[in-house]
Amino acid sequence: MIHVLLITFIITLFYMAIANRLMTYIKVLALQGVLLFFVVFIQLSEINTLNLVLILLETIVFKSLAVPIFLGYLLKRNNITREAEPFLPNFVSLVITTFIVVITILISNTIKDDNLDKIFFVVALSTLFFGLYLIATRRKIITHVMGYMVIENGVFVLSLAIGNEMPMLVNLGIMLDIFASVLILGIFLNKIGDVFKDVDVDQLSNLKDY
Amino acid sequence: MIGIYLLGALTIAITLFFSRNKLVEYSLVGVFLGLQTIFTVHTCMHNGITELVYFTYDSLGILLLVTLNIVSIPAAIHSYIYIETHKENPQTRAIYLSSFVLILMAISAGYLSNHIAVTWIFTEITTLAASALIYHHRNKLALEGTWKYVFICAISITFIFIGILFLSLSLQHAGSDDLSFKNLLAKSGQLNPIWLRMAFLFIFTGFTAKLGLVPMFTAGIDAKDTAPAPAGALLASVLMNLGFVGIFRFYVVVANTPLLHWAQLVVGSAAFLSLFVATVYMMKVKNIKRMLAYSGIEHMGIVMLGIAAGGIGYYAAVLHIILHAFVKSSLFFQFNQLYRVFQNKSIYHVGNYFKYNPTGAIVLLLGFISTTAMPPSGLFVSEFLIFKSLFDVGQIVLLIAVLLLLTMIIWSFGKNIFKVLFVPAVGFDDSNVEKISPWESVSQFVLLATAVYLGLNPPAIFVQMLQESVSLLPL
């Protein structure tokens, strides 16, 4: 069951690679949050209320409700056009994403480690690289934030792959920090929407050495 | 005590954020500085003590904390001058002072934390606080600088987190899951080398955003350029030291494994590339503030070369980073006065500074001598020791290349600084130039003199603490 969920997760990446509209990206991000919740839920060996609440907060509330709603609000408020405007055609994107997944599978096959769940590792690495790819090839600033969220999801899967428990306090701090950084990114995105006409990366090239 | 300090600083930051009364705000900052000083003294008296599980007062942490304390007082004074001369509105002032307190608190806690994830948390908080400082002017350029800084730092922080995950995977092979530096060091023999390599690469890359080293140095430059000069001084000195602490503490662990040689190679090549990049940019940069920021990259490159070379280089690197914090922050404090005279950051519109503000010009001149590590600057001693360490390990070719790059940096730095000091600016109307009080330069003289004193005639206790802070590294 976990494997089905993880493969669905990979498919969402492919879908993101060829999606045209920004709303689709947001919906896919929300879906990824739900998928992650089920993955964690199935993996839990014992159900402990505090732990469950934390996971719920982190996946459902934060990843699939708060961030997508916030991003949707940013889209509306700043009148961002609905096209994602990639630098590369969708077909090339799809091919590159496939390459990323294939290469991560090859990499993980070379690693022999009992403490590591391989499928988790493949999904985590490909999500990370895909997030970086998304940041590099989209013109709009809001897609950078989405790419950052994809990377965060990848890191989340990676932490599941490793399955190491950090102390509760440290975990809480990490979660709060990630939440705060997304919030800060959103706030400044809003400001960029107020100040500049287009929310494009090309607008941000005024800081120079001379 | 650290609990009281963190709670107190947080309360002060929150109160400042909501306060709109000038007198209350300034006295609160005063209270914070008092608290900071008491805390620093407390850590000095309790060397080696662990408090609140996650904070250990070790020699490196204490040395950098004292540095932070010394830099923070003039930073507060210059922030006051900055706010008063710009007649900031109550809201901007409140946000500035609040994030000023918050960033100092986060950096102090980051210095002292003994658990890599806790260092991570406080590094992230510094990004958040710095973003408010950089966005202070609320114009297009500030927005651009802030966005780039926050975004690159967010990505780098994620990298550090990935590194921490790999590290915990590596640690599982040693049958442990406690990520404190002490435990890592104790288990360093049993760490899995493949995952340790991955962890080191990711953590090193992540912290370079704060330290200002290739590959993630770009964001810091924009940040120091657009932030108000007193805040820029903090970003260019004590915040860089936090990046150093993050890398150094983990490097100590890696250095005690068979990966030492590989880690030296990674750190050394990043350091040399940083020097190269800094040279290229220094040659063409025309914005004085950015020039100072690039000079910071050069110094961090030298520091990391010392770390990579080992031997006496370890000692010199820690010494260099402390002295650099004093020198660079004093230059940033001075920059604000320069800007008030010329209302411009570009070399082309600035000149003949000796005529308008002789005291400030002397600070700039002394600062130039100190930064380029000419005697009697304290940085001369540390740089000399780093070169000696490179010589000791037989890296003659590298040493020659580094010296050539440094010569070019001194040439371009000198060219720009002497233009600022002596050559009149074309078309500059000096009929209503603001008179700068010489008293505003006192703190810079003190900082520069401290750097000379600590470099040339270090007190015994200072030397002892420096040696203690690098004692865990293999010779």
pLDDT digits (tens, 9 = 90+) for B129-152: 999 999 998 888 898 899 899 999
- Residue A87 contacts B where some CB pair is shorter than 8 Å: no
Nearest beta carbon to residue B158 from set A152, A191, A192: A152
B187 and B287 belong to one structural domain: no
For residue B51, what is the DSSP state?
E
Number of domains in chain B: 2
Q: What is the pLDDT of residue A166?
A: 66
Distance from CA of A144 to the nearest CA of B (A): 9
B26 and B126 belong to one structural domain: yes
The stretch B421-431 carries a mean pLDDT of 85
B460 contact partners, CB below 8 Å, separation of at least 6: none
Nearest beta carbon to residue A177 from set B115, B124, B173: B124
Res. A116: pLDDT tops 90: no
**pTM of the complete model:** 0.94
B151 and B294 belong to one structural domain: no
B229 and B80 belong to one structural domain: yes
Q: How far is CA B95 from the centre of its chain?
A: 22
Taking CA atoms, what residue in B is nearest to A153? B158
Alpha carbon distance B162, B174 (integer Å): 19
B282 contact partners, CB below 8 Å, separation of at least 6: B291, B294, B295, B298, B408, B409, B412, B413
B243 and B272 belong to one structural domain: no
B332 and B438 belong to one structural domain: yes
B218 and B331 belong to one structural domain: no
Confidence of residue B76 (pLDDT cuts 50, 70, 90): very high
pLDDT digits (tens, 9 = 90+) for B255-274: 999 999 999 999 999 999 99
* Cis bond before residue B438 (omega within 30° of 0): no
Cα–Cα distance list, A59 to A32, A35, A173 (Å) = 9, 9, 16
- Residue B445 contacts A where some CB pair is shorter than 8 Å: no
Q: CB–CB of B168 and A204 under 8 A?
A: no
pLDDT digits (tens, 9 = 90+) for A117-155: 888 889 999 999 999 999 988 888 888 889 999 998 998
pLDDT digits (tens, 9 = 90+) for B287-313: 999 999 999 999 999 999 999 998 899
Q: CB–CB of B151 and A185 under 8 A?
A: yes
Q: Let me know: does B130 contact B114? Beta carbons within 8 Å.
A: no
Domain range spanning residue B164?
1-258
B339 and B225 belong to one structural domain: no
Tokens encoding B303: 């520091």
Res. A200: pLDDT tops 80: no
Q: Let me know: does B431 contact B356? Beta carbons within 8 Å.
A: no
Res. B11: pLDDT tops 80: yes
B302 and B391 belong to one structural domain: yes
Domain boundary among B258, B289, B308: B258
B253 and B270 belong to one structural domain: no
Choose from A181-185, A192-196, B140-144, B400-404 the range with maximum mean pLDDT. Answer: B400-404
Q: CB–CB of B194 and A185 under 8 A?
A: no
B198 and B339 belong to one structural domain: no
pLDDT digits (tens, 9 = 90+) for A19-78: 888 999 999 999 999 999 898 888 877 777 877 888 888 888 888 998 899 888 888 888
Q: What is the ipTM of this complex?
A: 0.91
Q: Let me know: does B322 contact B454? Beta carbons within 8 Å.
A: yes
Confidence of residue A169 (pLDDT cuts 50, 70, 90): low
Q: pLDDT over 90 for what percent of chain B? A: 79
Q: What is the pLDDT of residue B115?
A: 92
Partners of B158 on chain A (C-beta within 8 Å) are: 148, 151-152, 155
Res. A165: pLDDT tops 70: no
The stretch B178-192 carries a mean pLDDT of 90
User: Which residues face A83 on adjacent strands?
Assistant: A21
Partners of B181 on chain A (C-beta within 8 Å) are: none
Q: Which of A135, A160, A177, A199 to mutate: most B Cβ within 10 Å?
A: A177
Run of H or E residues at A111: none
Nearest beta carbon to residue B169 from set A116, A184, A191: A116
Q: CB–CB of B131 and A188 under 8 A?
A: yes
Taking CA atoms, what residue in A is nearest to B224? A207
Partners of A125 on chain B (C-beta within 8 Å) are: none
Q: Let me know: does A12 contact A31? Beta carbons within 8 Å.
A: yes
pLDDT digits (tens, 9 = 90+) for B327-340: 999 999 999 999 99
Taking CA atoms, what residue in A is nearest to B145? A207
Alpha carbon distance A149, A91 (integer Å): 23
Instruction: Please say whether the dihedral angle defined by the alpha carbons of residues B259, B260, B261 and B265, taken in this order, is positive or negative.
Output: positive
Domain boundary among B239, B258, B277: B258
Question: Of residues B85 and A58, which shows the higher confidence score?
Answer: B85
B310 and B383 belong to one structural domain: yes
Taking CA atoms, what residue in A is nearest to B285? A209
Q: Let me know: does A145 contact A182? Beta carbons within 8 Å.
A: yes
Residue whose pair of structure tokens reads 């040689």 in the numeric block: B261
